[in-house]
Structure 1
Amino acid sequence: MRFLKLSFLFLLFVSASVYSQKELTLEEIWSGAFRTQGMDELNAMKNTNQYTVLNFDRATRSMQIDLFDYATLNKVSTLIDSKDFQELRGIDSYSFNAKENQILIANNSAQIFRHSFTADYFLYDMASKKITKIADYQIQEPTFSPDGTKIAYAYQNNLYVYDIASKKHQQITTDGKKNVVINGITDWVYEEEFAFVRAFDWNKTGDKVAFIRFDESQVPEFSMDMYNQGLYPTQEVFKYPKAGEKNSDVSLHIYDLNTKQIKQVDLSKYNDFYIARLQWTNEANTLSAQVLNRHQNNLDLLFVDGKSASYKVVLNETDKAYVDVTDNLTFLSDNSFIWTSEKDGFNHIYYYDKTGKLKNQVTKGNWEVTAYYGFDEKNKTVYYQSVENGSINRDVYAVKIDGKGKKRLSNQTGTNNATFSPNFQFYINSFSNVNTAPVYTLNSSKDGKTVKTIVENKAVQDKLATYDVAPKEFFTLTTEKGHNLNAWIIKPKNFDTSKKYPVFMYQYSGPGSQQVANSWNGINDYWFMMLAQQGYLVVCVDGRGTGFKGAAFKKCTYKELGKYEVEDQIDAAKVLGKYNYVDASRIGIFGWSYGGFMASNCIFQGAEVFKTAIAVAPVTSWRYYDSIYTERYMQTPQENASGYDNNSPINHVAKLKGNFLLVHGTADDNVHVQNSMKMIEALVQANKQFDWAIYPDKNHGIYGGKTRLQLYTKMTNFIKEKL
């Protein structure tokens, strides 16, 4: 009997050992095996101390908008279940009117570009439990008026107002035409680089709609062949201003629903400018607009009179490099406002009176505010997120509007993000770090203490623990030039300092970006762990130009994109090559988009350092990229030709010595495949051997069906063969 027990224990030990040494596979990674649970479409209500979440019922294949109580986390009710309405084939997104008794529901969404889409929209009345389709056609960005009686929306480049009671549609503009004029919806470059689509807004009394009009008739066109399934390819043609080329002419307008008149705001004192944001203030006749010059180093906050359409500049921001547009502009009940700015060298919160006079700098220090959550007027308290606890971490803080009484509410080191209840009594905190999968908890806003756990992902953590992988280790890498850079490394689980390992470096490096962050794994991280299982050291270094370490660190790359960032990756590789456990002859680098631009430059300009590089969807010359992004950091090619050309990988192809894989999708509306085609031709004419892969009809993300699995299999095989 004792022998049988020992045998059984031995078998348990052996099976556990085998089980704990499972190897990651690309099939598992891209099938969603490590997907985490979250709180989809989490929406804090405005009038009650409650929140809503969009849930999916696998059994009935239906979706529900469920209402929960902040104080108890108990489910109060299901506001709507898609299975009860034949018209609703799922719920893509939703929004409430001001009274929160009606819901706008989108389904059957059709993507246009990164943020924009059209959809079928339905209005659901919670009292009558009736659903009404807004229009017989797909529309964009429908938005309730403040009194909830009307909905403004865009359709085929024109603006409309839908009256809920009469179900009548009133057309506001009539000159909208594809590739010519857009009313109330941003053009391609605004959407991509200023990150908003809805370019119209209701005033507080619901009798005026302000909107931006885009005249893109003179903007050069870009066309993409779409191969699809037909006998002949089709062409997708849209307006795309490349660096130095003609932008849309923008104008600001106010439509009065009572008079049915449109007034244009006279912005003739500005030349070649952007309207980066518009938003009505808490005064019904005061509209705010953020106007930027083309160089984006001068920003005016305008207050526009809704009746006369005249304006005054209430705030001006300038910078030697560029001014980042803020999304944190918040108007208080007396129309004083909160604003965030980098003007003291770090992003901080400022408080201004209604005339634009500074009342107080609310936060100060050599650290960045990374999110503004809101202002509790009753307790005079501002809630925000910052990197005060280290630039790779995020914490939730509270501080009085006078800058006193600051409290750190989050108590775990990693990435914390908050969604506050309407009365600021509670907040839902999402937390993760390199060792902890996302956890959602209810916390007290008074002291940050956890009241209750809502969602955790221990199952994913436990699953990953059965694989033979090690988590990221954070460290500071100091280059020979003395630059201290945030970095992480993933080592094989059986790491042995007496061995020599090849190194595979990953980075993005774009201005203000961050890849070295103390948060749970993204999908690429599982691939990196898989490579570590196969004997590679995977390293990521955030060089100069990346974010959250102050304006000077971020903006040092101004007018020289690709110079200091490439220098830092090459210098970092040299430092790594001196580690006694690194094989300096086997260092590779990988990046996507800006990271592809970097990887290309590194294998060319760092030919003695890098053996292998993979560049996916790279910019190969900033001359081919869009005006707003590129000129923010580079000015125009006409003004800064050397900055564009000296750092273009196309002009360094002759230096290639190692192994290079170039990847691009033909339907990339963002970084056009033209970038890769130009570099392919340069490599061919330099008689350089390299590998490349083109993905038909795939956009910047290169996904769909088995695409990602095939791509990552290709990249994995390339690394195993060439590094």
Structure 2
Amino acid sequence: MKKYILALLLLSTVVHAQQVAPLTVEKIMRDPKWMGVAPTNYKWSADSKTVFFTWNPESKEKDQTYSVSVVNGKPILADDKNMAQEIGNNYTYNNDRSLGLYEKGGDIYFYNFKTKVESRLTNTVERESGARFLFNNEIVYQRGDNVFQVNLANSELKQLTNFVRGKRPTSPERPMASVQDSWLKTDQAELFDIIKKRNKAGTRSGMFGGGGRGGFNTSFTPQKMIKTIYLEDRILTNIIVSPDGRFVTYRLTTPVTTNHNIIVPNYVTASGYTEDIPGRTKVGETLAKSESFIYDQQRDSIYVIHTAQIPGIKDLPDYVKDYPKQLEERAKKNEDRKVNLLGPIWNERGSNAIIIADAADNKDLWILKLNAATGEVSLLDRQRDEAWIGGPGVGGRSLGWIDQNRFYYQSEATGYSHVYVCNIATGEKKQITSGKWEVQSLQLSKDKKTFYLSGNKEHPGITHFYKMNIEGGDFVQLTSMKGGNEITMSPDEKWLAINYSYMDKPWELYIQPNKPGAKAVQVTKSTSTEFDSYKWRQPDMVTFKNRHGADVYARVYPATNPHPNKPAVVFVHGAGYLQNVHFWWSQYFREYMFNNMLADNGYTVIDIDYTASSGYGRDHRTGIYRDMGGKDLSDNVDGVKMLVEKYGVNPKHVGLYGGSYGGFITLMGMFKEPEVFAAGAALRSVTDWAHYNHGYTSNILNEPVNDPIAYKRSSPIYYADKLKGNLLMAHGMVDVNVNFQDIVRITQRFIELGKDNWELAVYPVEDHGFVEPSSWTDEYKRIFKLFETTLKK
């Protein structure tokens, strides 16, 4: 009996240990394996019968490879070697998919699917890469800086290019003929009849005669030499061979040597010495200059792709009107804007090619028809945005050929990213999808008759997988589960591997036949017993009108038992252009759990897709142009107003927190809206946009030297004197994204301003995204303490 009671007690202890409630920071911020490890990295076998994926259902030290058959749906352990064989080694196929190429160990392998015979094409010390088939089934690949072509019929290997690093050698000048040289030349001609004969015939004089024995055969034709292209100090990239093998296009970039790169000191090192981590440049530094060239093998000639012909190449952006002197100077120079070229993208036969030109000032994107024989381009489509070009699939990320004359692409011309088809022969453009929703991914079926696409047609926070005819018409919805559906389609297009999740359920693998109305069958179960023991919230999905009359989407976590002060917390997602108000599992899973914990402790929490968040079209995306901390901040303030009106929170007891862009908004909220936010936790925050990177910042604020108004309007450091509430800042000291220097500079401003209501927590071993559970725990204990001691006073 005693043994039986003891066993029951032990069982009770085990069950209790698996209960995660009540939530604490220490429990939430452990190694995420405590939650369970979701499957990732889905790949189909070549025969479309098996899905391989990475998984760790037992939370071991390392993830392992699993496979599941579409027949029985039961996942089993698989070895990587078996997976490599069954998925077909990531083959690059010829047009009818009867032949395949793949790279292994730096060499190229060839596989014939009809004969089931594999051949090794190269076996060299150098790496061969980028192998693909030309239209005639000959093969091209790159070795070093040069391209080679293999004729499978006769095994002939032909070198197509002769790129040589360094400068063109200069020939030493021959000394001018002296009087003595002239006398010797004349004397030779007078002495020897053979010299006279050859001088008269214009043939080479020398020791050996024409076709006699032991001499050179004058009828010999020397082998044609490949034109030598000297790279000098330029960097060679983007080598592309046309499908007919005639044209080789390439890009040469002149590196910039005058820019300053950031150095990030690393203090906690194995050596015991401070070590420097090399970093990026800052926004506004000089951009490298690139030119794209065409080498025509048939004519043995090289010429540049003519960007000066692009319509609107000299057009200035509207913002320069705020700077009359700059406008006058730039108009007087009348210079072509710098562009970056993508492509060419050839059709199957190599009869047509398109180039995508992207303006360096981010205001224009052109799709151009390339005449490869001349280097001239002509306009097919121009996308102009006075803010910046963007949106899902835009810029060549979803572009391909339907047939020899028609290609598809995406554009935000209507305000939302949709699919278009253009006929390169006639210039006719046709919009295939439409509506106030976005096409988020796009692919063409093998028979080139059907588009498969993912989109948020039902709701901005729900994605489904659809198919439709390439000519347009009705959609056919293929997925049915409400939430997030990420699709990996089988090679034969008969099956869908669905990575699915819901708000309170992390990602799992489902398999479904590629048919409307078919049932998706769950394959994996990844969450732990401890994770499942807590009833995670499905937050209220709400919309409200902001002060500008636009709809704003939000998730609200109502307090379980509101504290008498009825406090509220605003969570601000990062990245700016990112979506977090959706029906699938959040990438901010720690913050999601923390928001559950706050709600358990009497707080009402709101998470807002403020202006510039993704998923809502062009106007929402670009609403912060030249004014970060404008509409994005006011949306959060308007969200608080909604909480006061509909959820009864106390407007005097509201805090906010967020990381990266969310940290930036937290600072702006504390500085520009001190009567709204009593406390804030700003994590890894940008404090001065002039110190962030070029690619992200120049899109939104242009460049500091050209548009200082936008930078001073948008940078928290210029508003630091307005701080009233209680502020916590937290930053990793080896952050190579938002550098530690950013938080140090605003700290110095607080010191100079005499502010004493702030705190800085530093994390010596953390980059932008924290890794160590101890760091996450320390950071969020401080955040919770801040809210407990300020909002519940």
TM-score, structure 1 normalization:
0.79
8 A Cα contact 1:499 1:581, kept in partner: no
User: Which amino acid is the alignment partner of residue 442 of structure 2?
Assistant: Y
Segment of structure 1 superposing worse, 217-226 or 260-269: 260-269
Q: Secondary structure, in 3 states, of the residue corresponding to 1:565?
A: helix
Q: 1:233, CA displacement in angstroms?
A: 3.4
CA 1:134–1:65 in structure 2 vs 1: closer, same or farther (change >3 Å)? farther
Task: From the superposition, tell whether residues 77 and 267 of structure 1 become closer, same or farther in structure 2 (CA, over 3 Å).
Answer: farther
Paired residue for 2:165, among 174, 189, 204?
A: 174
- Is 1:383 the counterpart of 2:452? The answer is yes
Give how far 1:697 is off: 5.8
Secondary structure in 1 aligned to 2:523? strand
- Residue in structure 2 matched with residue 418 of structure 1 by the alignment: 487
Matched, 1:441 2:510: yes
State whether structure 2 residue 703 is matched by structure 1 residue 703.
no
- Equivalent-residue separation in structure 2 for 1:356 and 1:69 (angstroms): 47
d(CA) in 2 for partners of 1:594, 1:14: 42
Bigger drift between 343-352 and 541-550 goes to 541-550
Aligned-pair CA distance for 1:293: 1.9
Larger CA deviation: 432-441 vs 270-279: 270-279
User: Structure 2: which amino acid aligns with 1:391?
Assistant: P
Equivalence for 2:283: 242
Which residue does the alignment assign to 2:223?
Answer: none
- Displacement, 1:43? 3.4
1:516 Cα deviation after fit: 0.8
Aligned partner (choices 270, 292, 304) of residue 358 of structure 2: 292
Structure 2 match to 1:214: 253
Q: How far apart in 1 are the matches of 2:25 and 2:653? A: 23
Unmatched tracts of structure 2, length 5 or more: 168-232, 314-335
Distance 1:301 1:225, change over 3 A: same
Q: Is the 8 A contact 2:138 2:149 kept in 1?
A: no
> 220-229 vs 14-23, which deviates more?
14-23
Q: 1:515 to 1:310 in 2, by over 3 A?
A: same
Q: Relative to 1, partners in 2 of residues 1:252 and 1:657: Cα closer, same or farther, differing over 3 Å?
A: same
By how many angstroms is 1:254 displaced? 4.6
1:601 is aligned to 2:668: yes
Kindly indicate whether the alpha-carbon contact (under 8 Å) linking 2:101 and 2:131 is maintained by their aligned counterparts in 1. Answer: no
C-alpha displacement of 1:544: 2.1
Larger strand proportion, structure 1 or 2? Answer: 1
**Superposed displacement of residue 72, structure 1:** 7.3
2:182 aligns to what?
A: none
Deviations 1:701-721 (A, max 9, x none): 233574444444444444444
C-alpha distance in structure 2 between counterparts of 1:79 and 1:19, whole Å: 35
Residue 44 of structure 1 deviates from its aligned partner by 4.8
Q: Secondary structure at the match of 2:40?
A: coil
How far does the alpha carbon of each residue in 1:467-488 deviate from its partner, in whole angstroms, 9 at most, with x for none? 2543322112344664431111
Q: Which residue of 1 aligns with 2:388?
A: 322
Could you tell me how far 1:591 is from its partner in structure 2?
1.8
Match of 1:96 among 82, 91, 98: 91
Q: Could you give the per-residue CA deviations for residues 523-574 of structure 1, whole angstroms, max 9, x where no partner exists?
A: 2212322333333332201122222222223223222222111122123223
Q: 334-343 or 566-575: which moved more?
A: 566-575
C-alpha separation in 1, matches of 2:124 and 2:671: 55
Q: Shift of residue 597 of structure 1? A: 1.3
Do the aligned partners of residues 226 and 498 (structure 1) sit closer, same or farther apart at CA in structure 2, a change above 3 Å counting? closer
Q: Distance in 2 between matches of 1:361 and 1:258?
A: 38
Distance 1:663 1:59 in 2: 30
Q: What amino acid maps onto 1:230 in structure 2?
A: S
Q: SS at 1:278's partner residue?
A: strand
Counterparts of 1:257-406 in structure 2, within 5 Å, are 264-268=304-308, 271-275=336-340, 277-282=342-347, 283-284=349-350, 286-324=352-390, 325-355=395-425, 357-377=427-447, 380-406=449-475
Of the structure 1 ranges 353-362 and 200-209, higher mean CA displacement relative to structure 2 is found in 200-209
Query: Measured at CA, do residues 701 and 397 of structure 1 come closer, stay the same or move farther in structure 2, by a change above 3 Å?
Result: same
Matches within 5 A, 1:477-516: 477-479=544-546, 482-492=549-559, 495-496=560-561, 499-508=564-573, 512-516=577-581
Aligned CA distance change for structure 1 residues 174 and 664 (closer, same or farther; 3 Å): farther
Matched position secondary structure for 2:728: strand
Query: Against the structure 1 CA distance between its residues 288 and 64, is the aligned structure 2 distance closer, same or farther, given a 3 Å change threshold?
Result: farther
Within a 5 Å distance, the mapping from 1:661-672 to structure 2 comes to 661-672=728-739
CA distance in 2, matches of 1:668, 1:166: 52
Cα separation, 1, equivalents of 2:39 and 2:542: 32
Cα separation, 2, equivalents of 1:55 and 1:133: 31
What are structure 1's unaligned runs of at least 5 residues? 86-92, 106-119, 185-198
Hey, what does 2:688 align to over in structure 1?
621
Task: State the number of aligned residues.
Answer: 670
Letter in 2 for 1:385: S
Distance 1:249 1:572 in 2: 45
Q: Distance in 2 between matches of 1:183 and 1:721?
A: 59
1:676 to 735, 740, 743: 743
Aligned residue identity for 2:403: S
Equivalent AA in structure 2 for residue 248 of structure 1? A
Distance 1:150 1:528, change over 3 A: farther
Does the 8 Å CA contact 2:248/2:295 hold for their aligned counterparts?
yes
Whole-angstrom distance in 2 between the partners of 1:477 and 1:653: 30
How far off is 1:24 after superposition? 4.8
Q: Counterpart of 2:614 in 1: which secondary structure?
A: coil
Cα distance change, pair 71–82 in 1 and its aligned pair in 2 (3 A): closer
Judged with a 3 Å threshold, the aligned counterparts in structure 2 of structure 1 residues 123 and 75 are, in CA distance, closer, same or farther, namely farther
Against the structure 1 CA distance between its residues 478 and 145, is the aligned structure 2 distance closer, same or farther, given a 3 Å change threshold?
same
Q: Which amino acid aligns with 1:702?
A: F
Deviates more, 1:670-679 or 1:13-22: 13-22
- Give the secondary structure class of the aligned counterpart of 1:221: coil
Residue 52 of structure 2 corresponds to: 53
SS at match of 2:362: coil
Indicate how the Cα distance of structure 1 residues 528 and 485 shifts in structure 2: closer, same or farther if over 3 A, else same: same
Residue 62 to residue 564, structure 1, CA distance change in 2 (3 Å): closer
In 2: Cα distance, 1:309 partner to 1:343 partner: 28
Which has the greater radius of gyration?
2
Contact 1:500 1:580 in 2 (8 A): no
Q: How far apart are the structure 2 equivalents of 1:63 and 1:167?
A: 43
How far apart are the structure 1 equivalents of 2:614 and 2:744? 31
Q: Does 1:642 align with 2:709?
A: yes
Tell me, what secondary structure is at the counterpart of 1:582? coil
CA deviation string 1:350-408 (max 9, x = no partner): 11113472342111112221221334536x22111111111111111122222213222
Q: 1:474, 1:301 → 2: CA distance? A: 39
Would the alpha carbon gap of residues 19 and 314 (structure 1) be closer, same or farther in structure 2, given more than 3 Å must change? Answer: closer
Deviation for aligned residue 1:246: 1.6
> Which letter does structure 2 place at the counterpart of 1:383?
Y
8 A contact 2:465–2:478 mirrored in 1: yes
CA distance in structure 2 between the aligned counterparts of 1:416 and 1:596, rounded to whole angstroms: 30
Shift in CA distance, 275/374, structure 1 to aligned 2, threshold 3 Å:
same
Q: Which amino acid aligns with 2:485?
A: N
> Could you say which residue in structure 2 is the equivalent of 1:23?
23
CA distance in 2, matches of 1:20, 1:705: 17
Aligned match of 1:693: 761
Q: Counterpart amino acid of 2:539?
A: K
SS state at 1:343 partner: coil
AA paired with 1:520?
Answer: W
**2-side partners of 1:418 and 1:226: how far apart?**
42
TM-score (normalised: structure 2): 0.72
Q: Within 5 Å, which residues of 2 pair with 1:506-655? A: 506-508=571-573, 512-522=577-587, 523-524=589-590, 525-578=592-645, 581-655=648-722
Aligned to 1:676, what secondary structure does the other structure show? helix
Per-residue CA shift, 1:406-431, capped at 9, x if unaligned? 22222122112222233433322222
1:501 match: secondary structure: coil
